[in-house]
Amino acid sequence: MGLATSGIYSGLDVETMITGLMQVERQPLVRLQKKEASYQAKISGLGSLLSSLSSFKNSLSTLKSGSILSMKAVSADNDVLTASAATTAASATYNIKVSNIASTQTIHSAAFTNETDEVADLSSFATQKLQIQVGASAPVAITIDAANNTLTGVKDAINSANAGVKASILNDGTGYRLVLSSTSTGAANRIVIQVDEDGNEVFDDADDTDMTGLSRLAFNPGSYDIDGNPVAGVINMTQSWAARDASLVINGLTVTKASNTLNDVITGVNISLKKDSAGSTLTVDVSTDTDSIKSKMNAFVYAYNSLSATIKDLKGSGTAKGVLGGDNIVSSIHSSIRGVTANSYNGVTLVDMGVSIDKLGVMSLDTTKFESKLSSDSASVMSMLNEMATSLETPLDGYIKAAIPDKQSGYKNTIKTITKRGLDMELRLSKTENLLRKKFENLDQQLAKLQGQGNYITQLQAQMKSIGGSK
């Protein structure tokens, strides 16, 4: 808006006159701005449609044969074991007795007075080594020298070496003990510790197995008894917990595993052992997870209703047209999903499975009827849902990946053109307003001159009358 033009000389309400004239001049711009707002609303509406349609397609994808079928495994006692099932599992009941779970080996050293006590005698050999091996893994050598020759230093060096054991220090009341625990369960993952005190790279020499210096940590049993206790060899550390395999009986067959996670015993079933069953036998039931299937069906129904409500809102009604009323994409999508309940897929319809649509277009699921159909003929249910989902997937992808984004892009390009035209109009209107103000300003000045001349003539006439009256 330009500088105010007041009409000082003429007394005219110039500002009101200019405002009125400019309102007329701005009408094309106002119409253009309304058109831009309309296109923005269409883009937003298409965004809502795209979101609802994507959710609907995702719900369909979960109904395909590779996704809808779920199996579940239920343990009679989750404190003893938990179980889960993949789609490859077969329905069955398993009787399981857990004799013992797999455990890790734990060993500890003799007691030290303080955590800062030296472990190795470095007076003769300043650099010595520990070599740790767990099961069949590669042995790991750890250097012990003046920099780490304390109970704490040795503990830290072992933990830094990633040798398959975890080291800690425990004060049991008689002193500080170095405690080593294997990180892997099972009898095959027992710990071996060998010592090289004289630096000759030969471990377990006679001097490397005595009970002095670094040799106090040597642990290389030659054999174990039936309970997993070391009975021969070098045993300078004490075993406080034996490495054991998990042992259980499944349907009369004894199973032994190094781990408490059993994923290769029963096809498609994963079992996690927690503790022994104290001599009792418990069951694990593997069956079709109907709750999961019902949940997916309910999600499909919800997505359908959400999409239908979005389409209804975008199309509008007889009294109020929606932002996408008459849009061919909206009408096409509506037609695609409207017949979903009536269409037959492999000889079965959604109606046969308890799905219905009321007069308002709202879909619902009769879970009792669906469960009955699923129980009596699950194969036809799975086949029908898979066929329906597959048949709708391609056309829906066409809308989601191409038709809707392309239309949004077209509207955005139109808006760019409108915006440019609007800026050009604003510039022209500004020039028009400035021109009007100049014209009114000139008019005001001309009127002022005329008014001044009129006043002068009036004064002359008055003077002439005055002269005439004095004679």
The tens digit of pLDDT for each residue in 383-438 reads 899 999 998 988 999 999 999 999 999 989 998 988 888 888 888 888 888 888 88
- Write the CB contacts of 45 (distance below 8 Å, at least 6 apart in sequence): 314, 322, 323, 324
3-state secondary structure of 244: strand
Average pLDDT for 278-304: 93
**Range of 83's domain?**
71-102+246-288
> pLDDT class for 2, splitting at 50, 70, 90?
very low
Does a structural domain hold residue 9? no
Minimum mean pLDDT range among 16-30, 109-123, 128-142:
16-30
- Give residue 470's pLDDT: 55
Does 191 share its domain with 272?
no
Q: Is residue 462 part of a domain?
A: no
Regarding whether 272 and 179 lie in a shared domain, the answer is no
CB neighbours of 234 closer than 8 A, spacing ≥ 6?
204, 209, 218, 219, 220, 221
> What local confidence, expressed as pLDDT, does residue 162 receive?
95
In three-state secondary structure terms, 431 is helix
Is there a domain that residue 458 lies in? no
Same domain, 257 and 300: no
| pLDDT classification of 463: cutoffs 50, 70, 90 | low
Least confident of 10-19, 48-57, 154-163, 304-313: 10-19
With bands split at pLDDT 50, 70 and 90, how would you rate the model's confidence at 456? low
- Among 155-159, 237-241, 394-398, 435-439, the least confident range: 435-439
Band of pLDDT at residue 350, cut at 50, 70 and 90: very high
Q: Is the pLDDT of residue 182 over 60?
A: yes
Residue 148 banded pLDDT, cuts 50, 70, 90: very high
What pLDDT shows up at residue 3? 47
Same domain, 133 and 218: yes
Facing residues of 32 across strands?
A: none
271 and 348 both lie in a single domain: no
- Lowest model confidence (mean pLDDT) among 193-207, 373-387, 397-411, 446-460: 446-460
| Percentage of the residues of the chain whose pLDDT score is greater than 90 | 59
DSSP 138: P
Instruction: Tell me the three state secondary structure of residue 316.
Output: strand
pLDDT at position 452, please? Answer: 64
Task: Find the Cα–Cα–Cα–Cα dihedral 253, 258, 262, 264, rounded to 10°.
Answer: -70
Strand spans (E) along 151-216: 165-171, 176-182, 191-196
Give pLDDT, residue 451. Answer: 66
Task: Identify whether residues 127 and 45 lie together within a single domain.
Answer: no
180 with 256, same domain? no
